[in-house]
């Protein structure tokens, strides 16, 4: 069975209200291992590299997003303008580069 990815921007209404986030996108990856989730997100989706150049239409510079593995530990990149750097730093800390 192949992994699937779900966008659940409506999944965290309380978090959105509490933190005054204007817009948010959640990438849920149904694998329990955080490292595997990052490898899937980067390797199979790979679009984070191009977020600054070609952002999805629902995002703007203030959008916050989460990579959300099935293990329940979200990996948050605070803003679109910081997304590539945040994911790269996380991957380096996990020895994925």
In a domain, 32, yes or no: yes
The predicted-structure confidence for 52-83, as pLDDT tens digits, reads as follows 555 555 555 565 555 555 555 555 555 544 44
H/E/C letters for each residue in the chain?
A: CCCCCEECCCCCHHHHHHHCCCCEEEEEECCCCHHHHHHHHHHHHCHHHHCCCCCCCCCCCCCEEEEEECCCCCEEECCHHHHHHHHHHHHHHCCCC
- Looking at residue 50, its pLDDT comes to 44
In a domain, 75, yes or no: yes
In a domain, 91, yes or no: no
- Looking at residue 64, its pLDDT comes to 58
pTM score: 0.26
Query: What's the domain count of the chain?
Result: 1
Name which residue leads in pLDDT, 96 or 45.
Answer: 45
Its domain, for residue 1, covers 1-58+71-79
In a domain, 11, yes or no: yes
In a domain, 27, yes or no: yes
């Amino acid at each position: 069975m192949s992994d699937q990815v779900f966008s659940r921007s409506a999944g965290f209404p309380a978090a959105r209200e509490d933190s005054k986030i204007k817009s948010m996108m959640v990438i849920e990856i149904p694998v329990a291992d955080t490292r595997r989730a990052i490898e899937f997100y980067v390797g199979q989706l790979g679009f984070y590299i191009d977020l600054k150049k070609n952002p999805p239409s629902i995002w703007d510079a203030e959008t916050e997003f989460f990579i959300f593995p099935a293990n329940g530990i979200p990996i948050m990149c605070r803003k679109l303008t910081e997304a590539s750097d945040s994911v790269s730093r996380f991957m380096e800390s996990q020895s994925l580069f």
